[in-house]
Amino acid sequence: MVRKALTMNVYPEFIDEYIKRHDELWPEMKDMIHEYGCSNYSIFVNRETKTLFAYLEIEDEEKWAKAADTEINRKWWDFMADIMETNPDNSPVECPLEMAFHLD
């Protein structure tokens, strides 16, 4: 199991909309996330800085990377592009974080 953490940015006026869209996450998106080896996926928001902090556990980096090219993932990125910082392909701008400490 690989632990991953990253930050993203949501536009200030869309924090509640970001949360709403994730509360209503499409069943096929949930299925894809699990199918590509991800579990224990959480996203936190800092309303003051508009920063999103994501933590997820994946089975394998290569398998997880393939999830980006699925039709449902591309559809999700397009759906979310109007409320957060994105790259030209509508993928979220992510800043991967390096693990500094872990304790079970």
The strands making up 2-9's β-sheet, listed across from edge to edge, are: 38-46, 51-58, 2-9, 95-96
Cα–Cα distances (Å) from 15 to 27, 33, 51, 56, 72, in that order, read 22, 22, 10, 20, 23
Residue of 3, 20, 22, 63 marked catalytic: 22
Question: Is 22 an active-site residue?
Answer: yes
The residues annotated with a catalytic role in the active site are 22
